[in-house]
């Protein structure tokens, strides 16, 4: 790499894709270039820097590329991430995922390749790293910071559950899409006088179910922070349906929601490198139970159910206004810190103000809904009170 006057900045995107990642990459790149930096995009999250080969004769284009204004302008208004992503965790790399040229050295079932990551970053001449991700991606960024590397991080996740910030890139578009799709599907629910069950993202935190419900998209929601009674939910939804002139009602179900006395529902036992098994199926189970129990609260008559998992439909497509503006601001905040020589920080939104906090907040606590303050556990819906001085999206763990 030919070093420019001020140095080289690397960007990577890890974990699930969300709308707003490309605007963030664009904002960082354009500002950095204008400030005199070279910008390198690391491909496929942490995988690109792990799999890179330190040989100029080797084609590493699948692992990194130099970013220009032309490149980022073409994708800056679109969804997803043109740098691609992965759920690679270099400190916990399975033997089968160790790159071919490193297999003779790393032979354990689980391997820590942090030494390789640091060595490759040094070979590229990277001065600052800007990882954009959720708590999994950023937890490894904390590790690199503790190893002495200069890191300025940006929070991204549909679940909005990265600690230390009120807002993560992707959340607003997720909420917008959830509301729109619920409103689309309610016409079918009303036409056939059914219960409508929509499974949404939210492994440990129920923000993506709570906020759309609070906005009027659903009658009820069940979330990971509170194990719910299925009979209570059935009774409430049947009552909501009875009160609705079109004879239907709607519930949003977080993917991590649990029946009282039960546990999370997984598709299979396979786990990613961050220890997470793929969730899936709680919406189907809720639908089945609602159908089974509905006669008890509907004068002996069964009520049919429409069940839909929104999933990747809320991930795909272009970002909304907030997920176009916030990534732009976050990118410039990161450059402000780098220009001051500051690192080890996470750029955030707190109480409507842009700020930054120590990066290790990501691993120091969890961010979930304050049940006592925001969620009515008997009515299975948000409280509608005490809005004064709350942030834009109302709920935060701080």
Question: Per-residue confidence at 255, pLDDT binned at 50, 70, 90?
Answer: very high
CA distance 61 to 38: 17
Nearest Cα residue to 47 out of 23, 79, 15, 21 = 15
pTM to 2 decimal places:
0.93
Helix ranges (DSSP H) in 133-170? 135-146
Helix (H, G, I), strand (E, B) or coil at 75: helix
Give 4's pLDDT tier (boundaries 50, 70, 90): very low
What distance in Å separates the CA atoms of residue 182 and residue 67, rounded to the nearest whole number? 39
What's the pLDDT tens digit per position in 137-168?
999 999 999 999 999 999 999 999 999 999 99
pLDDT digits (tens, 9 = 90+) for 33-50: 999 999 999 999 999 999
59 noted as active-site residue? no
Residue of 17, 159, 161, 323 with catalytic role: 159
| pLDDT tier, 205 (very low <50, low <70, confident <90, very high otherwise) | very high
What whole-number distance in Å separates Cα of residue 73 and Cα of residue 237?
Answer: 47
396 — alpha (psi -120 to 50), left (phi > 0) or beta?
Answer: beta
Look-up: residue for tokens 């950023």? Answer: 138
Q: Does the structure show a pLDDT above 50 at 52?
A: yes
Is the pLDDT at 275 greater than 70? The verdict is: no
Ordered domains of the chain (ranges, CATH): 8-169+319-364 (3.40.50.450), 172-313+371-382 (3.40.50.460)
Query: What gap in Å lies between CA 313 and CA 173, rounded to an integer?
Result: 11
Nearest to 392 by CA among 160, 183, 184, 224: 160
- Average pLDDT, stretch 79-96? 95
From the number of C-beta atoms within 10 Å of its C-beta (0-12, 13-18, 19+), residue 208 rates as buried
Rounded to 5 degrees, what angle do the CA atoms 364, 368, 370 make? 120
């Amino acid at each position: 790499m030919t070093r420019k006057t001020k140095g080289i900045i690397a960007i990577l995107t890890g974990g699930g894709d969300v709308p707003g990642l490309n605007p963030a990459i664009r904002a960082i790149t354009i500002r950095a270039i204008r400030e005199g930096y070279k910008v390198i995009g690391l491909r496929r999250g942490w995988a690109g820097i792990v799999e890179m080969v330190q040989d100029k004769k080797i084609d590493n284009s699948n692992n990194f590329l130099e970013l220009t204004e032309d490149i980022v302008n073409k994708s800056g208004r679109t969804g997803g991430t043109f740098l691609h992503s992965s759920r690679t965790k270099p400190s916990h790399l399975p033997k089968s995922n160790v790159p071919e040229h490193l297999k003779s050295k790393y032979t354990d079932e689980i391997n820590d390749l942090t030494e390789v990551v640091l060595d490759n970053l040094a070979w590229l001449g990277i001065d600052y790293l800007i990882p954009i991700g959720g708590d999994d991606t950023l937890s490894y960024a904390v590790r690199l910071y503790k190893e002495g590397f200069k890191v300025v991080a940006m929070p991204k996740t549909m679940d909005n559950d990265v600690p230390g910030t009120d807002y993560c890139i992707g959340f607003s578009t997720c909420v917008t899409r959830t509301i729109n799709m619920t409103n689309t599907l309610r016409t079918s629910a009303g036409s056939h006088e059914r219960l409508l069950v929509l499974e949404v993202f939210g492994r440990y935190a129920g923000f993506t179910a709570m906020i759309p419900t609070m906005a009027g998209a659903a009658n009820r929601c069940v979330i990971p922070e509170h194990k719910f009674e299925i009979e209570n939910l059935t009774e409430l939804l049947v009552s909501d349906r009875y009160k609705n002139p079109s004879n239907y009602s709607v519930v949003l179900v977080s993917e991590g929601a649990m029946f009282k006395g039960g546990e999370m529902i997984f598709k299979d036992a396979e786990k990613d490198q961050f220890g997470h098994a793929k969730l899936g199926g709680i919406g189907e189970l809720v639908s089945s139970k609602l159908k089974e129990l509905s006669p008890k609260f509907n004068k002996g008559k069964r009520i049919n159910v429409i069940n839909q998992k929104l999933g990747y439909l809320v991930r795909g497509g272009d970002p909304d206004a907030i997920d176009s503006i916030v990534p732009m601001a976050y990118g410039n905040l990161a450059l402000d810190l780098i220009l001051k020589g500051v690192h080890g920080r996470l750029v955030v939104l707190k109480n409507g103000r842009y700020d930054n906090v120590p990066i290790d907040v990501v691993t120091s606590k969890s961010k979930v809904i304050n049940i006592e303050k925001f969620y009515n556990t008997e009515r299975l819906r948000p409280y509608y009170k005490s809005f004064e001085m709350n942030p834009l999206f109302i709920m935060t763990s701080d």
